[in-house]
Structure 1
Amino acid sequence: MVRAYKLGILWLAVSLVACDGGGPGSISGEVGFFSSSSAPSIRTSERLFAQSQPDDFVPGEVLLKFRPGLSLQRVESLQAGGVALQREEELEPGGLALYRGVADKAQTQAAVAALARRPDVLYAQPNYIRQLFKTPNDEFYEYQWHYPAIHLPQAWEIEDGTSRTITVAVIDSGIVSAHPDLPTPVLGYDFISDPRIANDGDGRDNNPEDTGNVAPGAPPEALSGYHGTHVAGTIAARSNNNLGVAGVSWGARLVHVRALGVGGGSDADILAGLRWAVGLSVSGVPPNPYPAQVVNLSLGGRGACSPAWQDTINQANNQPQKPILVVAAGNSAENAAGFTPASCSGVITVGATETRGLRSYYSNYGARIDVMAPGGDVTVDRNGDGYADGVLSLLKDDRETGAAQFVYAFYQGTSMAAPHVAGVVALMKARRPDLTLAEALDILKGTAAPLNSSQCTGRPSDRIPSSFPTLQGSDCGAGLVNAQAAVSAAGSLTPSFTLQLSPATASLSPAVGSSVEITVNIARIAGFADPVSLSLSGLPAGVSHTLSPNPASGNSSTLRLQVDSTPAQGSYTLTLSGSGGSLTRTVGLPLQVAAPPPPPSVQGTAVVALFVAGNDIDASRSGVSIVSQAGLRAPYSIPDLVPGDYVVIAWKDVDGDDEITPGDYLGGYTDASGNLLLVRPTRSGIDVPLGVLSGTGSLRLPGSEVSLLPRLRQVLRR
């Protein structure tokens, strides 16, 4: 008699281990953290003239000014560098004049050089062609202060995103497809599996429409956020169309991946959406015909980067098109090392600035920040345009009907900063399609405008309390992005390298002997081949390190941190430096030295014997025992069980949310191979090892859609 059960990612074979008959019996044993056994791996749930290029001038024309006292009437014509020039126009009375001749660009430059050497000439220069910065005619562009802040109009002179179609995936709350300022066609997929969260009547489907994040029946003033539409508008709203606002890229293809709904979204849905966005397979979902080259993730939550997130990001980064993932740092005014996906490696983590170029009061900070971008501050109007200093983009107003619904609004947040960078990366990719993450990071960091300590701290601002720590400039990464410089640099790479850490954060326990290993990836750009010498600074007393190999001639080295004595608990920022050739690169490593967690206790654990009735569970014939004893292990006994087959599952609800969620303890009575065993009362010695949940999943009966976990809760609520 063998049955198969799926628990998380494991198929657990069920074997009969007791066949006692007769009247009511019991199942007893111990539940806890057994050092001699291995718990099963269970997973649940503004405008100026442009600077011309050196060769951007009118051939044969020279602007010339003689030194004071020389009459222009005496210089109607002249010879310079083999070119005959005639005075055509007096631009300044008694001063600057335009001379014209027949010459190509090289001859013109030679004439200018010859004139500049004359002692009677104050200056001479070619007649450069100047153009207005490319300024879109969108109705509300003048209120998009955040674009001049990053020199985006100058960048548009180089690349506006229309020369090559770059696909940008927006993993967010979906899209308001009827908004007239949204590029078409509307592409994407809805990855919200729970209809209640989706708020659209079903689960996953091919319609990424944002139905709002307010549950049905809410009062009219409870407006939905339509966050994904606002984010998408910053990246690629229809631009130069006499309507609304402009996007960073004027020609990007948007793919909308809906993963957030009422109350947010689960890791499972978000990660599935990320996989699909970059062209990885997702069970039951047709392939994405437009794998993203850039992905924007303006979302996240507390906690260091989890293995599931890092694994999925690693797979995404390995896709043939080499997608570049841009993520928001978070809005808690805390260290970004404590947030996911901001703390993950293999992504560009973006903090937020306001109109003065200071860190916005809410923006997360720390060594994990790569660059900053405008996120705004809707509590003030410092620029005096009559509106709150937020980021202006597309939105929907639930209180209106028809065309009046489709509006534009100011939002603030690192969620608004990240799409600025995603859009700039799309422009860079339009200029250089094979641009990699390492190259993009090297360019963005190398061209950014650094923030000093005061700017990064964000003062003066009445929104920052006196107790807020004084930050270092490096806590805002390389600084505020410069779109013009970044897009320009993307067109011609020079040999360089950049350092990336995996994982991007580290934690140690004060216990002597505690250690952690970090892979130092040396991304070599444009044929850079020199050895890289590595060094680490910022270590607290009591922690040592090794780097091997060092110097590194290859593409990686291993950094090992080791606790040698008892370091002070707290947060530290280590700096890893690499020097090779004439270049030096640094990367920050957040280190948390924390007290060891208290030993787990089994007190409050529910041990449940679930009665197996065919392809279902009979809650009425199931039993439960709540462990009252503290400690790593304790006895339990479930009395008065009717004869039959049972599976024994133990669960401790650590966070008290009455749901089986990551961080809870879960276990089952299994054999040494992890096979869940059937038990018939009376039986003793049925010991149940507990393990910490680390993901999402389910436990179902074979041939049935019935999940055991709700049945377990049903028994507990009787």
Structure 2
Amino acid sequence: MKKKPLYRTFICAALIGTLLAPGTVKAEAGTEAKAKVQNKISNSLYKNFEKKEKVTFLIKMKDQANLQQSAKAAEKRAKASIMTVKRVKQLKRSAVLASLRAKADRTQKDVKTYLEKEEKKGAAKQLESFYIVNGIAVTATKDVMEKAASFPEVEKVLPNKKINLNKAEKATIDANTSAAARPASNIQQVHAPDVWKKHYKGKGAVVASIDTGVEWDHPALKKKYRGYNPSKPNSPDNEYNWFDATSKKKTPYDDLGHGTHVTGTMVGSEAGGKNQIGVAPTAKWIAVKAFSKDGGSEKDLLAAGEWILAPKDAKGKAHPEKAPDVVNNSWAGERGLNEWYRDIVKAWRAADIFPSFAAGNVSEFEPGGPGSVENPSNYPESFAIGAVDSTNALADFSLQGPSPYDEVKPDLSAPGVSIRSAYPGHRYATMDGTSMATPHVSGIVALMREANPNITVDEIERILLKTAKPLTDKTFEKSPNNGYGSGLVNALKAFTEAKK
């Protein structure tokens, strides 16, 4: 009789063992599944649950919309129909919004249904969906967080971190509220008055800020507010023009001063030629308050970014036709690779909203030097601005490139030392920082948009870099470089190139 091969016996024994111990397989599968879920969750988020039962966290979905494709297709259709520039832009922005919403509605559905059930049980609260990043913010228990992470459509679960404004020197109040009827020296430094002589001051363009708010009735800003109504000068229309992500107040205000100062550099001036502090004095401004004295949460900054893309009416309906031409971001996160805000910047660009970002400042926790430029300004899609003084020397607080993507950053520079601008209390103040440099560029974008309403974000970026005055020093001997970028922004040359 022929003997059975020994290896068959071993295989049979193994199979019998497996059948007799199904729990082993289940346990291994369960361990593997748990590991996959935990890999999606930030370690720092787990630490937050050590102190609180419920924590606010952000859920990012895997699938993101193809915005460039949507925007280009809409633009092509609109141009084929021989529409006005304004109408083409509206259709393009509407297409971007529709693409984002469709993706979010489809991919968030199951996760939202689960969270809504947990909300009714009391295990979750403050559920908020975002389409601009295809994500969800919610305050919930650890168990809810882990269950949400287990959905296959979820990519990451992250903590709701605090982001700080770019720390600037303390504001020095100017006792003189009636400066001479001539442009401020920093405004002259970027050659904005040379553009004004050609009768272009930003008319028809809209600038926005994500900051600490704005004192809307400041003498240099009141009539520049898009919500200003001459027939009711003290009762502005804030719908589409103002959003407070921090405390939902209905009328613009600024309890810190930073945002008012920034907005003043973009558009500020008083009647009769006094206090000519702004680059584009006939442009209109709108604003989002996302920062308080404790900084700004990532959740609030996501809401701010979404509102900029399509300002909302009183009922919460989005209106992409009310979006600004440029959004000023005089704030930053930290150095290094962190793409938490990158999808927002991409969405702005797809909608032809120019994204100006401060490169960031040296601080107690950031010593500066090579590679210190902070996110979101260090993204390839962000336009980062460094600071120079009145002699075009690099400010000692201005952060440097290269970016984590091995690109030159900042993109260019603007005046950021001893900048006099508007300040709450109907006052004026002098401040330093890349925060102060950035609105010079935002104002110049407004001038370019008046000169050529059809100009795209990509074209604006190319022109700004091409027309900047190259700057070098002993550390940065060639231009462009990781200190000054392509150099000092030049309003006249950029305007002239845009108008061609």
- For the aligned pair, the TM-score class normalised by the smaller chain equals 0.5 to 0.7
CA contact (8 A) 2:335 2:374 kept: yes
Indicate the residue corresponding to 2:490 in structure 1: 482
SS of the equivalent of 1:454 reads coil
Cα pair distance change 1:255/1:7, threshold 3 Å = closer
Indicate the residue corresponding to 1:301 in structure 2: 333
Shift of 1:204: 2.1
Indicate the residue corresponding to 2:35 in structure 1: none
Shift of 1:455: 7.6
User: 1 CA distance for matches of 2:479 and 2:397?
Assistant: 14
User: 1 CA distance for matches of 2:428 and 2:267?
Assistant: 14
SS of the equivalent of 1:325 reads strand
Equivalent AA in structure 2 for residue 480 of structure 1: L
Cα pair distance change 1:168/1:336, threshold 3 Å = farther
Indicate the residue corresponding to 1:420 in structure 2: 440
Q: Deviations over 1:549-602 (max 9, x none)?
A: xxxxxxxxxxxxxxxxxxxxxxxxxxxxxxxxxxxxxxxxxxxxxxxxxxxxxx
Equivalent AA in structure 1 for residue 414 of structure 2: A
Asked whether 1:354 is paired with 2:393, we answer no
CA contact (8 A) 1:167 1:255 kept: yes
Indicate the residue corresponding to 1:171 in structure 2: 210
TM-score, structure 1 normalization: 0.41
Indicate the residue corresponding to 2:192 in structure 1: 152
Matches within 5 A, 1:586-665: none
SS of the equivalent of 1:43 reads strand
Indicate the residue corresponding to 2:100 in structure 1: none
Equivalent AA in structure 2 for residue 365 of structure 1: Q
User: 2 CA distance for matches of 1:179 and 1:418?
Assistant: 21
Matches within 5 A, 1:242-641: 242-279=273-310, 285-288=316-319, 290-304=322-336, 306-319=338-351, 322-332=352-362, 333-335=368-370, 338-366=373-401, 367-376=408-417, 390-396=418-424, 405-454=425-474, 473-492=481-500
User: For 2:253, which of 188, 209, 218 is the aligned residue?
Assistant: 209
Cα pair distance change 1:426/1:455, threshold 3 Å = farther
Shift of 1:191: 3.2
Indicate the residue corresponding to 2:244 in structure 1: 191
Q: Deviations over 1:364-416 (max 9, x none)?
A: 1222211100001xxxxxxxxxxxxx1110012xxxxxxxx321111111101
CA contact (8 A) 2:470 2:479 kept: no
User: For 2:159, which of 25, 44, 47 is the aligned residue?
Assistant: 44
CA contact (8 A) 1:235 1:419 kept: yes
CA contact (8 A) 1:159 1:431 kept: no
Shift of 1:152: 1.8
Cα pair distance change 1:418/1:243, threshold 3 Å = same
Matches within 5 A, 1:52-91: none
Equivalent AA in structure 2 for residue 418 of structure 1: T
Indicate the residue corresponding to 2:272 in structure 1: 241
Equivalent AA in structure 2 for residue 241 of structure 1: G
Equivalent AA in structure 2 for residue 393 of structure 1: S
Q: Deviations over 1:479-532 (max 9, x none)?
A: 00111111111111xxxxxxxxxxxxxxxxxxxxxxxxxxxxxxxxxxxxxxxx
User: 2 CA distance for matches of 1:259 and 1:41?
Assistant: 23
User: 2 CA distance for matches of 1:271 and 1:282?
Assistant: 18
Indicate the residue corresponding to 1:382 in structure 2: none
Cα pair distance change 1:307/1:341, threshold 3 Å = closer
User: 2 CA distance for matches of 1:339 and 1:285?
Assistant: 32
Shift of 1:178: 2.6
CA contact (8 A) 1:352 1:417 kept: yes
Shift of 1:280: 6.6
Equivalent AA in structure 1 for residue 251 of structure 2: N
CA contact (8 A) 2:373 2:399 kept: no
In structure 2, runs of 5+ residues without a counterpart are 1-53, 60-110, 118-145, 161-177, 229-235, 363-367, 402-407
TM-score, structure 2 normalization: 0.58
Q: Deviations over 1:445-494 (max 9, x none)?
A: 1111111133859xxxxxxxxxxxx99845321000111111111111xx
SS of the equivalent of 1:307 reads coil
Cα pair distance change 1:145/1:192, threshold 3 Å = same
Indicate the residue corresponding to 1:533 in structure 2: none
Q: Deviations over 1:211-268 (max 9, x none)?
A: x2xxxxxxxxxxxx41000000010013563333331102111001111112111122
Cα pair distance change 1:8/1:228, threshold 3 Å = closer
Q: Sequence identity of aligned pairs in percent?
A: 27
In structure 1, runs of 5+ residues without a counterpart are 16-31, 46-137, 194-202, 213-224, 377-389, 397-404, 458-469, 493-718
Q: Deviations over 1:262-291 (max 9, x none)?
A: 211112212211221121779974435621
SS of the equivalent of 2:158 reads coil
Q: Deviations over 1:69-116 (max 9, x none)?
A: xxxxxxxxxxxxxxxxxxxxxxxxxxxxxxxxxxxxxxxxxxxxxxxx
User: 2 CA distance for matches of 1:448 and 1:40?
Assistant: 40
Indicate the residue corresponding to 1:596 in structure 2: none
Shift of 1:190: 3.3
User: 1 CA distance for matches of 2:309 and 2:114?
Assistant: 36
User: 2 CA distance for matches of 1:238 and 1:427?
Assistant: 15
Equivalent AA in structure 2 for residue 449 of structure 1: K
User: 1 CA distance for matches of 2:158 and 2:313?
Assistant: 18
Rg (Cα) greater in structure: 1
CA contact (8 A) 1:237 1:247 kept: yes
User: 2 CA distance for matches of 1:40 and 1:154?
Assistant: 50
Equivalent AA in structure 2 for residue 169 of structure 1: A
User: 2 CA distance for matches of 1:447 and 1:455?
Assistant: 23
User: 1 CA distance for matches of 2:197 and 2:371?
Assistant: 34
